[in-house]
């Protein structure tokens, strides 16, 4: 095994408190790739793992909205001024107040579509099989057990130190998994 090999260790806990304390201690060791699988949301866990909000998805939706607004306005401008210039009632061809409603609708359409497909891309969907979840430890993760999955590099922290942290907090089951 080389110095940069990545490995994963899974620990199964009976209580959320033990899982949160374990996650805190692992973060204290400098580990950043910690995943938690719980049957219900655990508020302290989000604070411990420092789950981020927003990120690139918000920027993706903003870019989609900007493209949608530009397209929505341009298609109406092109239709009224360049393609079929019909003067009705002496109004100007480039009547931006008349174009705002349609442009707003297209803006919303593009922003929602960018958010939908951006979320799929960020989550790696559609994923029909995830080899990280092959372990039997995940069988009860959605029912009554709390599972922590830690990925680390050999030079970052020793396997035994992660195992000791799991054992110190009363993990029911500890096993290695695919990284």
Q: What is the DSSP string of 25-88?
A: HHHHTT--EEEEE-SS--HHHHHHHT---STHHHHHHHHHHHHHHHHHHHHHHIIIIII-----
- Structural domains for the chain: 6-51+130-177 (3.30.70), 56-123 (no CATH)
pTM of the model: 0.65
- The predicted-structure confidence for 95-149, as pLDDT tens digits, reads as follows 888 899 999 999 999 999 999 999 999 888 888 887 777 788 888 888 889 999 9
Residue 63 to residue 58: CA distance in whole angstroms:
9
3-state secondary structure of 167: helix
Window from 7-11, 46-50, 99-103, 110-114 with minimum mean pLDDT: 46-50
3-state secondary structure of 178: coil
Work out the average pLDDT over 25-44: 88
**pLDDT level of residue 88 (50, 70, 90 thresholds):** confident
């Amino acid at each position: 095994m080389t110095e940069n090999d990545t490995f994963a260790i899974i620990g199964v806990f009976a209580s959320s408190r033990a899982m949160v304390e374990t996650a805190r201690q692992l973060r204290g060791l400098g580990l950043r790739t910690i995943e938690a699988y719980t049957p219900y949301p655990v508020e302290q866990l989000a604070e411990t793992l420092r789950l981020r909000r927003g990120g690139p998805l918000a920027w993706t939706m903003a870019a989609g909205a900007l493209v949608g607004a530009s397209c929505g306005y341009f298609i109406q401008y092109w239709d009224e001024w360049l393609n079929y210039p019909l003067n009705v009632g002496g109004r100007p061809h480039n009547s931006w107040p008349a174009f705002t409603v349609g442009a707003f609708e297209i803006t919303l359409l593009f922003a929602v579509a960018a958010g939908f497909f951006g979320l799929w891309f960020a989550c790696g969907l559609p994923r029909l099989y995830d080899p990280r979840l092959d372990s039997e430890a995940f069988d009860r993760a959605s029912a009554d057990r709390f599972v922590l999955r830690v990925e680390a590099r050999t030079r970052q922290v020793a396997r035994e130190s992660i195992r000791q942290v799991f054992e110190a907090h009363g993990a029911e089951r500890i096993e290695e998994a695919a990284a």
